[in-house]
Amino acid sequence: MEKGACVKAWTVSHGEKLGKQRQKELNKLLHKITAVNQKVRKPNMYKLIDKFLFENWRSELKSSEHCFNV
């Protein structure tokens, strides 16, 4: 991001007040993206799946007569 991106164009086309507002918003965004994240989220620990509820559903569908293919 360039410092002062399009601020001059905004000042010329929309006026001094909107040019200053744009510069203020760009400064806030620059401060936000350069700040270090203090609240780093810990990684999720997932449980190992040991019981499958629908373990044999494919074989049951193939053996029975249905209108669709699996």
How high is the pLDDT of residue 28? 92
- Measure the CA dihedral 53/57/60/61, to 10°: 150
Instruction: With respect to residue 9, please indicate whether it lies within any of the assigned structural domains.
Output: yes
Domain that holds residue 7: 1-39
The answer to whether 5 and 22 are in contact (CB under 8 A) is: no
Instruction: With respect to residue 68, please indicate whether it lies within any of the assigned structural domains.
Output: no
Closest CA to 3 of 36, 48, 37, 34: 34
The SS3 assignment for 23 reads helix
Instruction: With respect to residue 53, please indicate whether it lies within any of the assigned structural domains.
Output: no
How high is the pLDDT of residue 58? 59
* Alpha-carbon span 34 to 46, nearest angstrom: 32
How high is the pLDDT of residue 47? 85
Tally the domains of the chain. Answer: 1
Instruction: With respect to residue 57, please indicate whether it lies within any of the assigned structural domains.
Output: no
Instruction: With respect to residue 21, please indicate whether it lies within any of the assigned structural domains.
Output: yes
Instruction: With respect to residue 64, please indicate whether it lies within any of the assigned structural domains.
Output: no
Instruction: With respect to residue 16, please indicate whether it lies within any of the assigned structural domains.
Output: yes
- 0.75 cut: is pTM over it? no
**pLDDT 10s digit of each residue in the chain, 70 long?**
566 778 888 788 888 998 888 889 989 998 999 999 888 889 998 888 777 776 666 555 555 555 555 5
